[in-house]
């Protein structure tokens, strides 16, 4: 076998291995989705949306958990995203090159991949311990802390994409920076910022670890923000690890529900971003 053959074989071998790696990755996604659908659809019935989480052996649904998850995610986004957007604005417009901004940018990227359980412990220490009990508001705060880095990052990136000419035109008309940002930059970067919000919602709505010691769980219907509140991830955690068949079925149904929501959110974010890029491309 000559040298040329050896090189060819080596080439073929490694390239096939990379194909195998890709197929493995895709197979994992397919396997997870398949399991979710085949197990989740069985438990997915009308009761899910009309009844509360049942005691073991009883019939029930996930209404209180769905409500709690929606509520805390909403609150988390309402608290977290304005902070993220404002901070992103500072980094992109006011403090673009300052030393402090470099540090903040770095810390934000670290927070972006920091373990969420640490954030849960942090909120437990500063909110739950002070208040003396678990509460939905503590859960929402933990989610807000997780939403800030995501929105900050996308806002800064999107503001940087706005053509400099638009800023200069606004300034030339005599507008102050705040006016330029609110009336020119935000509208121009709108779909990008919305994408960031969608990604943040997708990120926090499936979070379990930070809710374990902040919102805890609640077997009953509760709208009190100052009390423990049921939420899908913790219910899934509890029910899946229980020995009861009906609880496990509900856990699968909840898992399917939450994954579909998140996948739809991520896909819409991507579509939005693709549309944005297409628009940018044709504009030039």
Partner 1 sequence: MPGSTYLWQERERNSHVAIIDPRHAAKQLIFERVFRSATFLAALLVLLILGGVAVSLLRGAWPALSHFGFSFVSREVWNPVTDQFGALAPIYGTVMTSLIAMLIAVPTGFGIALFLTELCPPLLKRPIGVAVELLAAVPSIIFGIWGLFVLAPVLQRHVQPWLIRHVGDLPAIGHLFKGPPYGIGILTAGIVLAIMVLPFIAATMRDVFDTVPPMLKESGYGLGATTWEVIWNVVVPHSRVGIVGGVMLGLGRALGETMAVTFVIGNAHRISSSLIAPGTTISSSIANEFTEAVGDLYTSSLIALGLLLFLITFTVIAAAQAMLRRLERRSGVVA
Q: Which of residues 186-225 bind partner 1 (CB under 8 A)?
A: 202, 205-209, 212-213, 216
Instruction: Give, as ranges, the residues between 87 and 116 that touch partner 1 (CB under 8 A).
Output: 87, 89-91, 93-97, 100-101, 103-104, 106-111, 113-116
DSSP letters, 250-267, are: HHHHHHHHHHHHHHHHHH
The smaller minimum CB distance to partner 1, of residues 125 and 279, is found at 125
Among 42, 78, 241, 275, which residue sits at the site for partner 1 (rule: CB under 8 A)?
241
The smaller minimum CB distance to partner 1, of residues 50 and 110, is found at 110
Contacts of 211 (CB under 8 A, 6+ apart): 72, 120, 139, 142, 143, 231, 233, 234
The smaller minimum CB distance to partner 1, of residues 56 and 115, is found at 115
Instruction: Give, as ranges, the residues between 140 and 159 that touch partner 1 (CB under 8 A).
Output: 145, 148-149, 152
Evaluate whether 150 touches 200 at the Cβ level (below 8 Å).
yes
Evaluate whether 199 touches 266 at the Cβ level (below 8 Å).
yes
Is residue 131 at the binding interface for partner 1, with CB under 8 A as the rule?
A: no
Among 76, 84, 139, 192, which residue sits at the site for partner 1 (rule: CB under 8 A)?
84
Pick the stretch among 46-54, 63-71, 175-183, 189-197 that binds partner 1 (CB under 8 A).
Answer: 175-183
Is residue 230 at the binding interface for partner 1, with CB under 8 A as the rule?
A: no
Q: Where are the alpha helices (DSSP H) in the chain?
A: 3-43, 47-50, 63-89, 99-112, 116-123, 129-131, 136-161, 164-172, 177-180, 186-188, 190-205, 209-212, 232-240, 245-283
Is residue 45 at the binding interface for partner 1, with CB under 8 A as the rule?
A: no
């Amino acid at each position: 076998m000559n040298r040329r053959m050896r090189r060819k074989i080596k080439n073929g071998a490694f390239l096939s291995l990379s194909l195998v790696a890709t197929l493995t990755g895709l197979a994992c996604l397919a396997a997870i989705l398949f399991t979710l659908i085949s197990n989740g659809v069985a438990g997915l019935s009308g009761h899910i949306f009309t009844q509360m989480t049942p005691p073991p052996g009883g019939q029930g649904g996930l209404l209180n958990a769905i409500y709690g998850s929606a509520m805390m995610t909403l609150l988390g986004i309402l608290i977290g995203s304005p902070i993220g957007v404002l901070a992103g604005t500072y980094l992109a417009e006011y403090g673009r090159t300052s030393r402090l901004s470099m540090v903040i940018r770095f810390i934000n990227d670290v927070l972006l991949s920091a373990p969420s359980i640490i954030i849960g412990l942090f909120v437990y220490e500063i909110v739950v311990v002070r208040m003396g009990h678990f509460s939905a508001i503590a859960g929402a705060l933990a989610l807000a802390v997780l939403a800030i880095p995501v929105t900050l990052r996308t806002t800064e990136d999107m503001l940087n994409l706005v053509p400099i000419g638009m800023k200069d035109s606004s300034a030339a008309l005599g507008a102050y920076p705040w006016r330029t940002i609110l009336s020119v930059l935000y509208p121009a970067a709108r779909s990008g910022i919305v994408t960031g919000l969608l990604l943040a919602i997708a990120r926090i709505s499936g979070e379990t670890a930070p809710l374990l010691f902040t919102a805890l769980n609640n077997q009953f219907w509760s709208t009190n923000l100052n009390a423990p509140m049921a939420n899908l991830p913790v219910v899934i955690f509890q029910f899946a690890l229980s020995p009861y068949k009906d609880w496990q079925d509900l856990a699968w149904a909840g898992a399917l529900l939450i994954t579909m929501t998140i996948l739809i959110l991520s896909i819409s974010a991507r579509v939005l971003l693709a549309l944005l890029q297409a628009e940018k491309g044709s504009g030039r």
